[in-house]
Structure 1
């Protein structure tokens, strides 16, 4: 069985998204860490600019009634205001963004792909928060956007995956979800290239 066949045979949307984006995800993680965002506050400030850009682009997802039907409480999960407060804590100016959010007009399947990426980043944030704490930052000062969800990272991620997997999508719609995840990673990669 070739790789493409084995990926399309995966039974859940979250498993397909993971399989289709794993290499891109690993490359992006490497490029972020190679920029040494936790070596000093100046580098961390550039990292916050990346985060601010990403969360600007995904902010419409957290206001989406379509997504809220599958993800209860989603409107409380957005982290753009946390990133903005982290920047204010460190006396960093917020970037001026003139572009419309990338997710402003995406349909439900693509939105699911974007949400998979941005909510999945919360798992890795556990490690990033440890690095931030070594610089004297915390969930209450400078690293709010890295804070653990109230129910814990692993239980929250399981709930997100379960909700993703409960959405019934046709094969073409699943392809759109994968396209959305790829777009989320590409947008983040572009932000990393610009700011880090």
Structure 2
């Protein structure tokens, strides 16, 4: 195995370690807000998900990224989030701009990989969230569609995605951009959670 292949095989691990603190901080904050206490709180959680997925959607539609990651467009859950909002009697909220999320940059690949890592990763642990949603009378067919796993299984779905990240040819500078982009996505999600849930009083 070449040095480049060895380096690439650890890319997802490095990304995970570099974003661990931001990821844990976000998870702890969301659980502290208790978004599954009732349907109104859960609807706020889905609104947060809408903003996150809407910000990332241009990356799911980007041709350069689609050529590198399998079934990228099909992985988007934005339409499911919209349907969940409708099920919950919520309209689509106004867009919230996400800093550092721009496919118009000269090289959107490393930036997009960072954002996609965060958004795709949120589905890996969503089985627990879907179980909590069922206690509110919701399901993967009503109100909690975006929390459903892939028919092939969440684990395989995630491994295929991370294998794609590991295989992309990136420079050291690109990898730095990818990591900072992922941190920015977690930071954006944190601001969404703090803003949306704290507004409940």
C-alpha spacing 1:181/1:98, structure 2 compared with 1 (3 Å): closer
Give the structure 2 partner of residue 125 of structure 1: 126
| Residue-by-residue CA offset, 1:139-174 (whole Å, 9 max, x unaligned) | 000000001112110001110110000001111111
Alignment of 1:31-50 (within 5 A): 31-50=29-48
Give the structure 1 partner of residue 111 of structure 2: 110
Aligned residues: 188
Q: State the shift of 1:98 in Å.
A: 5.8
SS across alignment from 1:159: helix
Give the structure 1 partner of residue 171 of structure 2: 170
Alignment of 1:1-196 (within 5 A): 12-97=10-95, 99=97, 102-106=101-105, 107-196=108-197
Give TM-score, length-normalised by structure 1: 0.91
CA contact (8 A) 2:35 2:42 kept: yes
Cα distance in 2 between the residues matched to 1:11 and 1:79? 27
Give the structure 2 partner of residue 6 of structure 1: none
Ranges in structure 2 where 5+ consecutive residues have no aligned partner = 1-6
Aligned-pair Cα RMSD in Å: 1.6
Runs of 4+ that moved beyond 4 A? none
Q: State the shift of 1:13 in Å.
A: 1.4
CA contact (8 A) 2:114 2:181 kept: yes
CA contact (8 A) 2:70 2:161 kept: no
Which is further off, 44-53 or 9-18? 9-18
Cα distance in 2 between the residues matched to 1:113 and 1:53? 17
SS across alignment from 2:125: helix
Ranges in structure 1 where 5+ consecutive residues have no aligned partner = 1-8
